[in-house]
């Protein structure tokens, strides 16, 4: 059946599919977590580290349980999530629109290439002084940092994606007299989709990092600010508990975006799987 199947265009941006150890991995991963928890529990109890700096895991967990009953925690979590999601959404829309426009017009692409290469590597955190100057510790500060960091992730992926359109597919669409908009909608967009999803996954993680950073350093309301407050008031177990929550948030986001990736790219991974 596969004898004459021609090779499909595959985005280089996708991770190679891991075929082996898929089933064992969650079990091993869980085991690793349990060991880490046990070590964190044991070290302070055995006196290897000072429990003022690293309380046992059970203490962190208890503190976390207490936080869950407080409205303040949930407000902070909500603020963080809203900041993260709105920044990510803006970056996605902007990255896709700008990417498709630049990518579709060769001249524009040539003109913007060096500018993009210059702006992209600027770390978002380097903009902190600037945004503080303009917005202080208002949510806008975090939003700008989040959007800036996530935008490049999306834009670069979309540019790769648009460039990946197969010339034969493009000629096919042209010969059937698809309109310009139809070519973008039914040729460029599906081709770029795998890249867009990869961009989404990368942007989602980066956005969370920048949101927490802004809250922690600038004092934008959210979980990051709570961490800073807990830390400066010497509430060590709370600090750890909040850090754990942020970590779990990161894991959750990653799991979700991977699920989205798998769903959206069903045809694509199947192509790769069969090849």
Considering only residues 185 through 214, tell me which ones interact with other proteins, judged by CB under 8 A.
Answer: 186-187, 190-191, 193
x/- track of binding to other proteins for residues 3-42 (CB under 8 A): xxxx-xx---------------------------------
In this structure, the chain runs to a length of 275
| CA angle 110–114–117, rounded 5-degree value | 125
Decide if 183 contacts 173 (C-beta within 8 A).
yes
Question: What span, in angstroms and rounded, lies between the C-alpha atoms of 124 and 271?
Answer: 37
Based on the shown chain and the rule CB under 8 A, indicate whether residue 262 belongs to the binding site for other proteins: no
Question: What span, in angstroms and rounded, lies between the C-alpha atoms of 143 and 103?
Answer: 26
> Contacts with other proteins: how many residues (CB under 8 A)?
29
Alpha helices in the chain (DSSP H): 24-45, 57-68, 71-104, 106-119, 128-135, 139-163, 167-175, 180-183, 189-218, 223-232, 236-264, 266-274
Based on the shown chain and the rule CB under 8 A, indicate whether residue 105 belongs to the binding site for other proteins: no
CA max distance for the chain: 76
Q: Which residue in the set 15, 24, 177, 180 belongs to the binding site for other proteins (CB under 8 A)?
A: 177
| Shortest Å, Cβ 160 to other proteins | 17
| Shortest Å, Cβ 196 to other proteins | 13
Question: What span, in angstroms and rounded, lies between the C-alpha atoms of 148 and 32?
Answer: 35
| Shortest Å, Cβ 13 to other proteins | 16
Based on the shown chain and the rule CB under 8 A, indicate whether residue 179 belongs to the binding site for other proteins: yes
Q: Which residue in the set 174, 248, 256, 262 belongs to the binding site for other proteins (CB under 8 A)?
A: 174
Question: What does the binding site for other proteins look like in residue numbers (CB under 8 A)?
Answer: 1, 3-6, 8-9, 166, 168-169, 171-172, 174-179, 182, 186-187, 190-191, 193, 267-268, 270-271, 274
């Amino acid at each position: 059946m596969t004898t004459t199947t021609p090779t499909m265009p595959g985005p280089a941006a996708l991770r190679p599919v891991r075929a082996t150890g898929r089933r064992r991995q969650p079990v091993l991963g869980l085991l690793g977590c349990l060991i880490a928890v046990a070590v964190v529990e044991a070290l302070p109890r055995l006196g290897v580290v000072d429990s003022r700096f690293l309380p046992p895991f059970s203490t962190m967990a208890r503190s976390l349980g207490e936080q869950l009953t407080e409205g303040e925690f949930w407000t902070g979590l909500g603020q963080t999530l809203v900041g993260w999601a709105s920044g990510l959404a803006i970056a996605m829309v902007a990255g896709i629109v700008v990417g498709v426009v630049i990518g579709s017009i060769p001249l524009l692409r040539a003109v913007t290439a060096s500018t993009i290469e210059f702006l992209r590597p600027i770390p978002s955190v380097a903009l902190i002084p600037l945004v503080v100057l303009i917005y202080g510790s208002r949510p806008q500060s975090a939003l700008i940092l989040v959007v800036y960091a996530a935008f490049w992730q999306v834009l670069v992926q979309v540019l790769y994606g648009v460039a990946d359109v197969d010339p034969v597919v493009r000629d096919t669409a042209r010969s059937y007299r698809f309109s310009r908009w139809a070519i973008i909608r039914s040729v460029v967009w599906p081709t770029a989709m795998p890249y867009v999803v990869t961009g989404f996954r990368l942007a989602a993680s980066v956005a969370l990092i920048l949101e927490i950073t802004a809250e922690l350093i600038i004092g934008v309301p959210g979980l990051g600010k709570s961490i800073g407050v807990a830390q400066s008031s010497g509430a060590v177990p709370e600090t750890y508990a909040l850090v754990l929550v942020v970590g779990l948030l990161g894991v959750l986001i990653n799991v979700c975006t991977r699920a989205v990736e798998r769903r959206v790219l069903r045809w694509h991974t199947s192509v790769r799987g069969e090849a």
